[in-house]
Structures are given as structure tokens and as C-alpha cells.
Structure 1
């Protein structure tokens, strides 16, 4: 008897997800954990608050030790430092970014070797090998330098990020990036993100690039979001194949700081040891 359809449905139902409260309906929006997520929106559209809502939803996972958060914040790390207790490591310069991405790339290599040795296809996130989430605020700052030395570092970072986006899913590494301009010529790695969220955008063409044509056909219209409605958001659910309109709640940075004051994220020396070790297959 063929049971593949049932298996497919169970996978979708059991996929770990972030639960973001929707103030419009009073329900939670499920955003898959482990699939790279791109957040697009113009200045003032509410990206910062949405990222804070995502971080709030991750607190319990960081506390449990099954998620490790890394930050790339090329505004000298100011935004990430405001909630530093959530992060194992913060990169505030392009040099620090390259160094951090190199560590993650080596971690992926180590986890891939472990998968091959144990005849497995993917790393299941746990306390022993947590899901690593790289939060990139204003990812377009990885581009556009004019100084030759900085351009060289940016290209290194872009190449490393591309490798991580290609190889991260099976090794429990996820990237959440925020951008203002969804055009491919501005952010060349856009197509590496299967999950898309769009806040207010300038026009329909940008919306198609930020999400996809299917989402727009199903009613997603981020270019029609009023300027006075920051935080109003469209998300295309790839499990249910539907466009969802929602609004995340306002997150007070002071409340988030208070909630994470005693939080102890995974130590970087445990995540990135000289010779990373993963548990044997039977310990999964």
C-alpha cells in the first residue's frame, strides 16, 4: 500500500516552526525553522520590530540550548548588542563577519563529515548539535564598498554566505536576513532563500522579487501597505501554498532586554572547537 502522501503531510505538520503572534487574527503564524528566511521592507516598514518578534519567539529555544544565535550587524554591532544575551557571537565589522562565516563554514564541513560517517541525510537540531541561526541585519551592507580592501573582504563574506546558504539546511544552519532592496542586482543571493516575508515595498515589481509571482497571484500586495501601518506583513507559506497577511505585535526593546537579562546562550568555544565533535548516531 502506498503511503507517500501521508508521509508528506506528516513532515509538514511536524516541521519545527517559529510561532509569531498575529494581532489581526489573534492566532500564531508558523514560520518554518531551518529554512533560510529573507525579510524585505522599505525604511520605516517595521523590519526591526519583526526581527525583534522573531528573536522573542526564539528565546525559549536559546534557553533550552537547541538553538544558537549568531549576529552579523555591520552597523558596528549596535542593534545586536542591545540584546547581546541572546547571541553566542556578534560580528560588527566586515573583518569580524568574514571570521564568523569561516567558522560556520568549517562547522558545516564537520557536520557533513559526521553525516557521511553515519549514513544520514541531515542533522536533527538538539542540545548536542543545535540549530545555528545567523541573523543578518541590513544584509545589503555586505555590498557596495569603494575601498579596495573592504571590497575584498565583502567578496569573501559573500562567497562564504553563498556556500552556507547552499549547504546549511542539511547541517542545521539557517540564515535570516533583512534587506531594503529586493532586486537581485542589489542582493545577489536572494534566490537562496526559500522562505520570504515582505513588509511595505515600493511597487509590485519589487514585491514579485521579494516574494514570488505565485504569492502575488494569491493576493499578496506589500506595495499597497499604507505608510502608517508599520509591521503589516505578507508571508508565503510554502507548506500550505498560500499567502498570509499578518501583523506582529509591538516588541519593546526594554522588555526584551529584561526577559533575556539572565539568559546564557551556547558558548562559542563549544560551538566552534578546534575539532568539532558530534554525538554518535545512536545518541541522536
Structure 2
């Protein structure tokens, strides 16, 4: 009646219903004790070698005093430990950066690897759904390494076979709270491996003063602030278009004026022209002397200025056709940067339909054809919806400052940006804490970068305008 299966045969089955589920016990193969001991010994040796290889300094701190105690007695071991601690403390006070780079961050990484991540790895993976518990066995992603910097822990993880990056990016809140961090960011290290960034503190909590005007004349990337890792935030202006989105008081003016400030030497040299569209008449009006006659405030003036920029672009395209593919700024053909403070007022909230169509057509033409001939657009807006700014995808580089809704983050930075850690809707509305803080997504990289723009005061703007006017 029953087909014989591997393992124990079904015996003494009594059933009165034909659909009763029958459970068969699998075959049990008893492993000899010698094989079990060999396997456990091999795992122990491999674990020790892996620990020493990944954490050589932390292992030496424990192994060397222990060996001295074993060979020469506890007094020699205690003396060696006390002398080493005194030398490390003196090193830390005399030259802290080198101490942290060589010893400090490695010790901290080993401690957090053991006490924070390894200790909580299994429950966090199972509860968050990134691990699987099947037939009494846990299948967990592999915790590879932990690296500490001055502000964050960088955790390298080997994913389970069949997992996707989206499985992790959808659970960043689970990971952050599971390991006691404020947030978590996910990026791809290489095929099958991820890097999880858990910040320990916020290096962008303090406002930044205006960046000094550079001495060298350049239209290359200009410094507008700092990145979360402490390195300068360099924003490319020539050869791209930049879109800045943020709620009221998010610090859009800080990005605009910091970019103009970085181009100031090139403006004085005649290699850059800044054309300003200021429909609010509040932000860019402080530096009207910087723009000269290329300043527009009313919608009609803005339309005319944009169409003039299109004429410059088309004239250059006719001259450059067949001769060059990239623009090199010169006094005869300077780089033209068109700055629009509140572009939504011109493209969506303009009551004159004729002006709205002219402005939208000019912006679309500039953003699709202007890069190659040295005409760039930097636009700022509050509402990033498609019906407000229908050409937002034509801006290669995008900046998301504080936003009101989580959906707006993906509207600005692209699909999945918020799941990878761009929490622009969580930025503090307090000006001292959140003004100028945002996330940048560059054309060359899909991973968002957290940054803060320097604050350019009214006094700084007037001094810049007076210098150019003089």
C-alpha cells in the first residue's frame, strides 16, 4: 500500500480517512566521535587564525602579556602591561591623529565587532527577516568586518545566496535600532557584499562659516561645504546642471551663494558669467552687482533672460559643430551659469500661460543641450513634484535638503534613494541644526552622500558684490 522511502519504513499506521497526512522520519546517520572532534578542532583553529588576521593589534594586546606571564611570571607581565599602557597614553596625548589611525580605531572596531555586532547579529537578522530559521537551523548573512572612523562604523556583510540589495535597504530602520544607531545606510561593496554605515555621532551638527574665496582661478569643482566624513564637499558646476530641492528655511541659499563664491575668482577673470533669475526678489537681490545687467526679477524679464541664454547656447553650438565636443572657458566664450532661485514660481505657479510655456521651453532646451557648449543651470525649488518641475530628470546632479515628506526624497534623488539612507525628511527644522544639511546624488554615483553647505551671510554677499564691482 505504501511505497518504501529512504529511512524508517512506515509501520503500524492506522487511519480511517484517506487524506490523513503521514509523516515519515528521515534516516539518521551517526557520525563517529573522532570525525566530530576533528571538525570542531578545525573550526576552532580557523576561527583563531581569522581573528588574528582581521584584528592583529587587538589580538597582540591580549596574547603578548599572556605569553610573558606564562614564561617569566606575573610581575613581568604586569610591568609590560603598565609600560605599554603608559606609552600608548603618552602617544595619544602627543600625536592623537596617528594614534587613532594606527591603534585607536582598530581597537574600537574590534570591541564593537565583539560587543555590539557579533553579540546581537543572530537576533537582529532573524527578527528583521534577513535571516532564515529552517528545520532547526539558522541561515544568517555573514558578518565579515567592522571598520571604525571618527564618526561611524562601516560593517561589511556577505549576503545570503538569493538575497538582493533591496531586501536590506527596505530594513534600514530595523538594522539601525537593532544595533543602537540613529540611522543606517546601505551601499554595494562588490558582488554579494554590502557595506552598512552606522553613524555614532553627527559631524554636521554645527553650522559652517562661509568658505574663503579661493585664490586660484578655476571653473572646476568648487567647495561649498563639507561631507559627513570630514572631507570638503566639492560641487561640479561646469559641464553639468544642478537641482536643489528643500523646504522653506532648509538652506537653499547657502548652496547657491557658496557655489557663486567659489566661482568668484573666475568671474573676476572673465571666465565665468553668472546670470540670475530671482522671482522672489529676496535671495539673489543682495548681490545684484555680481550679475550686472544679467539679473531678472519679473516673469517677463526671466523669460527674456532664459531665451537670451538659449541664443548664446545655439550660437556656440553652430560655431563648435564639427570642431570640438567639450567647452573650454575663455574670455571670448566664458562659462555661463544660469541661477534660478525659485523655479517653481516660473514653471508651475505662473498665471500667464504664454510666459510659462516660454520659460519651460527655454529651461528644457538649456538642460538638454547646454552642457557641451558651456551653459549650465542651477535651479532651486521647494516642491519637487513632476507637475511642478517637469524637467527635473534633466539635471544630472541633485541635492535634497530638508523635505516635508518621505516620498519627495525619491522624487529628487531617484527611486530607492531614501531606502539607501537619504533621510532628508528627518533633517531637523531648527536652523542651527539642519539649515544647509542635505543629501547629494551625483551623476557618476547612485549612492547618496550626506553634506552640509556653508552659511554665507548678508555681509559676505555684499563684500563679494563690492569686490566684483570694484
Category of TM-score, reference length = shorter chain: 0.7 to 0.9
Counterpart secondary structure, 1:218 = coil
Once the two structures are TM-superposed, the CA of residue 157 in structure 1 deviates from its matched residue by 1.2
Q: State the superposition RMSD in angstroms.
A: 2.2
Corresponding residue SS for 2:467:
coil
Q: Any residues of structure 2 matched to 1:233-244 within 5 Å, and which?
A: 233-244=438-449
Q: Is 1:221 matched with 2:426?
A: no
- The alignment status of 1:250 with 2:452, answered yes or no, reads no
Deviates more, 1:137-146 or 1:83-92: 137-146
Aligned to 1:134: 338
Taking structure 1 as reference, are residues 207 and 177 closer, same or farther at Cα in structure 2, changes over 3 Å only?
same
The structure 2 residue matched to 1:109, chosen from 314, 321, 334, is 314
Q: Name the SS for the 1:38 alignment partner.
A: strand
- Does residue 376 of structure 2 align to residue 174 of structure 1? yes
CA contact (8 A) 2:398 2:440 kept: yes
Instruction: Choose the corresponding residue for 1:231, options 436, 441, 447.
Output: 436
Shift of 1:123: 2.0
Aligned to 2:410: 208
Check whether the contact 2:350–2:356 (CA below 8 A) recurs between aligned residues.
no
Change (3 A) 1:256 1:26: farther
What is the match of residue 234 of structure 2?
A: 30
C-alpha change, 1:146 and 1:208, in structure 2 (3 Å) is closer
Q: How many pairs align?
A: 248
Q: Does 1:123 align with 2:327?
A: yes
Partner of 1:161: 363
Q: C-alpha offsets along residues 150-172 of structure 1, whole Å, 9 cap, x if unaligned?
A: 22112111111111111101110
Aligned 1:16-165 pairs, distance under 5 A: 16-22=220-226, 25-33=229-237, 34-75=239-280, 77-88=281-292, 89-116=294-321, 118-145=322-349, 147=351, 150-165=352-367
1:75-110 Cα deviation digits (max 9, x unpaired): 2x4432211122141011111112111211111111
- SS at structure 1 position matched to 2:316: helix
Alpha-carbon distance between aligned partners in 1 of 2:231 and 2:363, rounded to the nearest angstrom: 34
Whether the aligned pair in 2 keeps the contact of 1:63 and 1:263 (CA below 8 Å) is yes
What are the Cα deviations for residues 37-71 of structure 1, in whole angstroms up to 9, with x where unaligned?
Answer: 00000111111222222222221221222111001
Asked if structure 2 preserves the Cα contact closer than 8 Å seen for 1:23 and 1:249, the reply is: no
Shift of 1:24: 5.4
Instruction: Report the CA distance shift for 1:211/1:23 in structure 2 as closer, same or farther (over 3 A).
Output: closer
CA contact (8 A) 1:38 1:176 kept: yes
For 1:256-267, list aligned pairs within 5 A: 256-264=461-469
Q: Conserved in 2, the CA contact under 8 Å of 1:196 and 1:235?
A: yes
Q: Give the structure with higher Rg (CA).
A: 2
- Which of the pair has the greater relative contact order for Cα pairs under 8 Å at 6+ separation? 1
Length-normalised TM-score, structure 2? 0.50
C-alpha distance in 1 between matches for 2:350 and 2:435: 33
